[in-house]
Amino acid sequence: MADAPPADVRANLLERAQSINEKIEEHQAAIAELSGERRECLEDLLAAGMTQIQIANALGMSRGRISQLMSAGVKAERAFFGTGKVTVAIGGKLETGRVDGKPLVVASGEAFGAYERLADLLRTLGLESESEIVPPPGLLQLNRPNLVVLTSPRLLPFVGQVLDSDPHLGFASDDDGWFLVDKTTNTVYRSPSDGGESTDYAYLGRLPRPDGKGTFLYLAGIHSPGTAGAVRHVEAHLPELYREVKNRRWSMLVATKFDGKTRKVLETSAVTPIYRHDNG
């Protein structure tokens, strides 16, 4: 039996293997993203009036290969969320009254349920995700890629400051509580759930990172059912949303009807158009 290599040699080999493995994973992710972009281009060409035969001739491929490319690979709308593992940040509250006397940071059941639904959607797109519960006072690191933020500025005030960059929509508050505003039409949307109705409103959009090097996706209801509804709306309309906005900056408001007893989302509907932001 040959002698085992010295420990330093084994360490170098392991380091090299790890480096190679990381590069392979990076290349595989890049190929998956490029495949999605290619399929998106093919879909756009078909929508523009070209036939599969014309596209095949232009690209030097067979019609069968074009059909194969159209049905293979990752979905183009996966890029709506990013290019890698997605972090979903949720505003948390301090839970007191524990036996050990130590407060615990927790998210509401509805907010975490919204994350779980979003995580299921991301899995169907081939994306991993992780949740991050942000403790009070809601100091959230926004300068990172592949970020989705849930929860209103009531728990995440720093996000509220970034929302000021939206020329069309935003959150506001007064003595009667939090509400949403359409600045373009001067329309105020107060949550009907504050008056006992099983309906809430939510903001959906893509906002700029403070460092100016990217954006993050923001889904937030006035109350928790609205946040769950925002996720449900994206899930139900992802392909058309992606075709409409790609990764540009945009925003819209949706209404969520939910079961008054179980608090489960029943249906969602858009109450504003999709607003594209200047310089977005």
Q: Is the pLDDT assigned to residue 280 strictly greater than 50? A: no
Contact 206, 166 (CB under 8 A): no
| pLDDT category of residue 102 using cuts at 50, 70 and 90 | confident
Between 270 and 3, whose confidence is greater?
270
What are the distances in angstroms from CA 234 to CA 21, 202, 261?
34, 12, 24
- Total residue count of the chain as it appears in this document: 280
Q: Among candidates 173, 254, 189, 256, which has minimal Cα distance to 181?
A: 189
Give the Cα separation of 78 and 33 in Å (integer).
9
40-47 long-range CB contacts below 8 Å, 24 or more apart?
A: 40/76, 42/66, 42/69, 42/70, 43/70, 43/76
As a whole number, mean pLDDT of residues 248-277 equals 96
Q: Is the pLDDT assigned to residue 84 strictly greater than 60? A: yes
Query: What pLDDT was estimated at residue 101?
Result: 66
Query: What pLDDT was estimated at residue 74?
Result: 57
Task: Tell me what percent of the residues of the chain surpass a pLDDT of 90.
Answer: 59
